Amino acid sequence: MATMDVSKLRTHEEMMHAVWVLDLANQCIRIVLADFRGDPATDHLVLLAEKLIASIEQVRRALTSLRSAFDDVAAVGVR
């Protein structure tokens, strides 16, 4: 995920795969957070995880917008 370059996504399938990877990462982080939330020794981990979740959501929204734009372009090309 750290090496994901959204600007290199060219096809609908690549975008869908990227969204799938982000959703999977998001779920994994949430599971880990659920196990450690409330433990004072992991406050920093929780903070970083919450920031990562927010970043994942931001990228996911951007990909969704790109996917919509890609679909619009594809629809115009079909005509």
3-state DSSP assignment of residue 79:
coil
Q: Taking CA 22 as the corner, what is the angle to CA 77 and CA 57, rounded to the nearest 5 degrees?
A: 90
Q: What are the pLDDT digits (tens) for 13-29? A: 888 888 888 888 889 88
The band of 69, judged by pLDDT with boundaries at 50, 70 and 90, is confident
Q: What is the pTM of this model?
A: 0.59
Rg for the chain, CA atoms, rounded: 16
What SS3 class is residue 5?
A: coil
Render pLDDT for 25-53 as a digit per residue (tens, 0 to 9).
889 888 888 887 777 778 788 788 888 88
